Each structure stands twice: as C-alpha cells, then as structure tokens.
C-alpha cells in the first residue's frame, strides 16, 4: 500500500515537473517571437551601425517649435519646445553633419537634435535642453554612430537597440528555454531509471 502511494506521488511530481518544463519552453518561444517582431526589425532597419568619434562644432537653441506626440487627442498631439541643434565634425569623413539623439529623434523632428517627452512644465523642458547644450559644450569629443553606406548624412548619439542590448534581450528567453529543456530531460531520465529498476 505504501509502495503504491510512493509511486503515485512520484508520478504526480514527474507530471508537474514535466508541465513546468514544457511551460518554460512555451514561454521562451513566445518571448522569442515577441522580440522578433518588435526589437529585431528596429535593429535591422537602423543604418547607423558604425561607431566613430564626433567633435562638437556648434550648438544652437532656436525658438520654440512644435513636436508631434502620439498620446492624447488630435489637439494634444503637438506641444512647443526649444529646438536644440548640434553640429559635429565626423572624424571618419571630416564632414560637418547634424547630430541626433537616436534614430527616433530624426523621425519625430528632423530639425532638432533632441526631442523631449511631453511635459506639463515648459520651464523644466527649457532647463533640460539648456543642460544638454551645456554638456555638449563641456564635452567636445564623444563617440557617435554614422551610416557607412552614406544613405544618411547625419549621425546619432546612441542607438535605440545596440548589439549588446539585443543580446541581453535574447539572454532571458534563452536561459528559460535551456532550463525548461533541462527539466524535461531530467524527468525523462528519471522515468527511464524507474522503469529500468522495476524491470530488474
């Protein structure tokens, strides 16, 4: 009687462990799919792939411009902010080009190097842009990214999804997939050993 209870408990434990392993594998596959349709396209579409050194030539803050915002109604889709323009010397080619914060900055407003998030306090936005401009004047030389193919004549300060970020995004689903497969293999080995012991 006790032996039957132990066997039943063992089978339940193996079933739960097997379900856990399969669940981990299924979740990791879903994470791979999600990363593949969200992050990977942005990474592959970016043409600013080569890192070089940029030197600030001039910074300029123009009068307020309007920036589109994806949140809210149609009337709330634009808000004014000072337009910061940063011109740099591209070390790789020696050209004078305009610097943008990321790829998204160029799409949102190609006239400005920095596009702030929508904030209610306009003074805070102005202070942040002035701080960024002073940092560029303070740190004249810094790494940046340019398009080696020459499609884009401008440069960006940082990529939205760099290679390290993409690898980090794939790290967690890979660990989960490996853990799930390991649990399934261990359960199968345990079942095989149990059958082999019972047969002997």
Whole-number Cα distances in Å, 12 to 7, 9, 100, 189, 197 = 9, 5, 58, 16, 19
Is residue 115 domain-shared with residue 187, that is, in the same domain?
no
The pLDDT of residue 198 is above 60: yes
- Structural domains counted in the chain: 2
The answer to whether position 27 is within a domain reads no
The answer to whether position 2 is within a domain reads no
pLDDT of residue 188: 85
Name the pTM for this structure: 0.68
pLDDT tens sequence across 56-83: 999 988 876 655 544 443 434 456 788 8
Is residue 129 domain-shared with residue 181, that is, in the same domain?
no
Is residue 193 domain-shared with residue 171, that is, in the same domain?
yes
Is residue 125 domain-shared with residue 89, that is, in the same domain?
yes
DSSP code of 1?
Answer: -
The answer to whether position 92 is within a domain reads yes
Is residue 136 domain-shared with residue 167, that is, in the same domain?
no
- Nearest CA to 11 out of 185, 194, 200 is that of 194
pLDDT tens sequence across 25-63: 999 999 999 998 888 888 888 888 888 899 999 998 887
pLDDT of residue 69: 47
For residue 108, the enclosing domain spans: 50-161
The pLDDT of residue 17 is above 80: yes
- pLDDT higher at 85 or 79: 85
pLDDT tens sequence across 147-172: 888 788 899 999 888 878 888 889 99
């Amino acid at each position: 009687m006790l032996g039957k209870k132990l066997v039943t408990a063992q089978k339940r434990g193996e079933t739960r462990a097997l379900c856990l392993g399969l669940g981990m594998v299924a979740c990791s596959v879903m994470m791979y799919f999600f990363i593949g349709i969200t992050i990977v396209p942005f990474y592959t579409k970016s043409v600013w792939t080569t890192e070089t050194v940029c030197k600030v030539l001039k910074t300029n803050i123009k009068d307020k411009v309007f920036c589109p915002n994806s949140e809210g109604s149609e009337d709330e889709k634009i808000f004014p902010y000072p337009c910061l323009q940063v011109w740099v010397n591209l070390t790789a080619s020696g050209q004078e080009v305009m610097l943008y914060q990321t790829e998204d900055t160029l799409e949102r407003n190609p006239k400005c190097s920095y596009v702030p998030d929508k904030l209610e306090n306009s003074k805070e936005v102005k202070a942040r842009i002035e701080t960024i401009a002073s940092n560029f004047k303070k740190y004249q030389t810094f790494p940046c990214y340019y398009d080696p193919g020459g499609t884009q004549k401008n440069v960006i300060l940082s990529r939205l999804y760099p290679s390290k970020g993409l690898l980090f995004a794939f790290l967690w689903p890979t660990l989960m997939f490996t853990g799930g497969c390991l649990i399934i293999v261990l359960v199968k080995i345990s079942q095989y050993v149990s059958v082999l012991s019972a047969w002997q």
